[in-house]
Amino acid sequence: MQPITITPYNGLEPHQLEALYRSVGWTSYFRRPGLLAEAYARSLKAFAAWDGPRLVGVVRAVGDGVSILYIQDLIVHPEYQRRGIGSLLISEMLKSLKKETSLFKGSFLFG
């Protein structure tokens, strides 16, 4: 197995994103065609975990970009769980937010 790489999620693999959500039983996004893609397009940030060309995990953040931020979705394919991929995704998200915003300055996350 090659190393897992974390990249910004750019929406280029929507079929893999849908398959990842289905792999963990998160199907509410499929009630309306295009809902999942629209949700990601409107997210503040999203990161993907890749095993070569295979999408194996995602994390996305939503909020107002000023004072509110939520990690809305954190998903790792069941075959890849318990390997630290979720932690890598969260770490990358927090690192990018710390660099780009003042959202958490002075908070317990980045004290």
- Rounded to 5 degrees, what are φ and ψ at 15? -65, -35
pLDDT at 100: 60
As a whole number of angstroms, the distance between CA 16 and CA 14 comes to 5
Cα 80 to Cα 76: distance, rounded to the nearest angstrom: 6
Q: Name the strands in the sheet holding 54-63, side by side, starting at the edge strand that comes first in the sequence.
A: 5-8, 45-51, 54-63, 69-76
Q: What pLDDT score does 5 carry?
A: 96
Among the listed residues 8, 5, 92, the one whose alpha carbon sits nearest the alpha carbon of residue 56 = 5
The pTM assigned to this predicted structure is: 0.84
Q: Which residue has the tokens 């909020």?
A: 63
Mean pLDDT by 10 residues, the chain (111 residues): 89 89 93 91 94 96 83 96 96 82 48 40
